[in-house]
Structure 1
Amino acid sequence: MGGIHPAANKLSAGSPIEKFPLPDDVVVPLSQHIGAPAVAKVAKGDKVLAGQLIAEAGGFVSANIHAPVSGTVTAVDLAVNTQGIRQPMITIKREGDEWAEGIDTSDSLVRECSLSPQEIIAKIKEAGIVGMGGATFPTHVKLSVPQGKKAEFLIINGVECEPYLTADHRVMLERGEELLVGVSILAKALNVNTAYIGIENNKPDAIAHLTALCAAYPGISVVPLKVQYPQGGEKQLIAAVTGRQVPSGGLPIDVGAVVQNVGTALAVYEAVQKNKPLVERVVTVTGKTLAKPSNLLVRVGTPVQALIDHCGGLPGDAGKVIGGGPMMGRAMSNLAAPVTKGSSGVLVMPDDESLRAEAQVCIKCAKCVDVCPMGLEPFLLNKLGSKRMFAEMEPNRVTDCIECGSCSYTCPAALPLLDNIRVGKAEVMKLIRARKA
């Protein structure tokens, strides 16, 4: 139900993953995940090795943080993130690239995993792995199925339906074997025998490549999907792959599903089979007027500006730099801020495409209702949000909104639908938490 077909603009789809040069300094945020910030375990002046634990999870829904490079800690202090907000970060001056003992950084494939499900989840937790599709939910929490619930199958999200982004596409093409071992490890952690990899039909090379590799991995299969945004949303992907509908207010586990991103599955392989924590990821750096759209393997903590410079520098017509894709990403106000575990892309938008049209009066065309993948009434939620009638937004299911932006994209009146809905959703979540407390 719903959805749109924005121009794909996959400018970097043919660009192989390139290892990005190590920066002289990295700045590592203690909040790179949904949940409580990690707690720093190092102080100014400490020497650290790449892969060493530098901040410990601050609760069950939290994630460990590890040093992305070796060197000396020069600060544990507040620093400005990409949104212009000051938050706790650890700064490390790089002095080489020496890894902590026991971490295997070789390219050798390790297929067999003899660990128990509990041991696998413990290793994933130790490695600080989070959802790398953008949500950054701690992976060990997602794998810890609540009492009374049962996982029936695993779904791997290879859809990458956001325009411009190609990092997952390149991972599927270039790291297919490691990815499939990661999928089999995730399935074992969940005690399930069936795993599906959902990939949209605009990636025929990835579909063919992984389908061929799956012959050696019983229980794992590729599911080609029609091209439609936002099919990468968990609930939309579950419906597309299995036909099951997650109920309003429910979670994927309510219909027996657990969904993990392609990048997350690769990180799980490296954590479990190589003892390597999550300290680097593939980031798409792209834009219509950027000199060299690329897919870069980047250490966490690297300044965003360095990635743009590597790809030819900020074009003269740049109007906005977005973290993520154009639909769900957010404009950056500080390019000196670091890449994080959730940084899927850096998109440079030309000035003429980044300006908002002036909002007009709603013409009651109901296009926003037609395209909403959650069956909501965005025009109504927008009106309630703009009037700060937050209590009325809850019974109108604002918490079901996945913030995909389809409503704003299709609105002929150029209304800031998603902006007002986002504000209202955040306020409603506050009301719900206060009520539970």
Structure 2
Amino acid sequence: MRIAVIGTGYVGLVSGACFSEFGVETICVDKDQDKIERLRRGVIPIYEPGLDALVEKNTRAGRLSFTTDLPAAVRGADAVFIAVGTPSRRGDGHADLSYVHAAAAEIAAALDPDDFTVIVTKSTVPVGTGREVARIIRKTRPEADFEVASNPEFLREGSAIEDFMRPDRVVIGTDSDRARQVMRALYRPLFLIETPMVFTSLETSELIKYAANTFLAAKITFINEIADLCEKVGADVHDVAKGIGLDNRIGKKFLHPGPGYGGSCFPKDTLALVKTAQDHGAPLRIIETVVDINDRRKKSMAGRVIAACGGSVQGRRIGVLGVTFKPNTDDMRDAPALDIIPALQAAGASIAAYDPAGMEEAARLIPGVTWAGDAYAALRQADCAIVLTEWNEFRMLNLNRARGIMNEPVIVDLRNIFNPQDAEMAGFTYHSIGRPGRVRKGRGE
């Protein structure tokens, strides 16, 4: 089989590489000539564990290629995947579908009317987008023999290859038996390992993606609010999360307190679903509240740091560990660091920060930060350490060494990666999320 993937962003590149690993001849298309040239040389534009090796292997085998020539890629393809960006539209929060619509028009112009082609929306798109894609193609090429399908992605950054190769489920929305046959053939390796396949309508498939992401965002927001309550009543949020997560109806995943969710999906998808629901007269009050609470939480985190520093960070040096929205990615989109660091700078603090993968992108987004070569360099002469991203290397930080190079032994652990007793034993005043207060020690006590 042969497919084309339009867009070499996170979803398009991972999906294309993984389909080629299935044995499918895959051509990835992008308008950015420089990006395509770099991909041909094996230079991966995103940080995703294992992706560079997968691209190199399948490029060498001739199953994966990269081009700017969309018509050539589309001609003769059994399926064409639209995997372009759908960011929040400036001004109203709706998903910006301009890239999807433009891709549909270009695909239509390239279709060979003698070949049957399945046009697949892989991008996260609001309900009704598949029908609009079909309308655009029919208007542009009435004679084209095609069907439209929805095949949303459920890839976690940092675990994307495993998620594609061994997914919880594959969702395919289409009204066409011919399209189902093509999609079944593409995903045949997953049928062989008995992966659940959910075949449904276009509209249902599109809504499944948004419903999944907003539910997970709500789960994160729920445990964050429970963490705040735990601090007031002397309970431990981790024990609460374990106690409720062992209930199979709830589950333990996404019950980790922190500074609020970020990333490429949850912020824009929750907002887009809210707008879609409002447009259809079926407002989602729960999700509206989730969006509001999360926005407020990220903005409030700087206040926690200021309070931990005695009420002022004027003239203080703050060492920041991690800036990406989660570990194992270089993605800075809607990361809590984008709210927290500027707020601390505005309050008079100087910031030194280290992140294993995200500093290049972060430097473009957060001016005035001193970027360090490792965690200890970020903490040297610091009056406070903040943990913003739970990279594994931070979990293994030598707290005694850290205390010895800091001006003041204060940690604000917004990811709860340290054991409070360990921090105490190293002489730190330790602040975390949703855990009861303990006897804390500072230098000289």
TM class, shorter-chain normalised? under 0.3
Larger Rg: 2
User: 1 or 2, which has the higher helix percentage?
Assistant: 2
TM-score by length of 2: 0.27
User: 1 or 2, which has the higher strand percentage?
Assistant: 1
Comparing both chains, which one has the higher relative contact order based on Cα–Cα distances under 8 Å and sequence gaps of 6 or more?
1
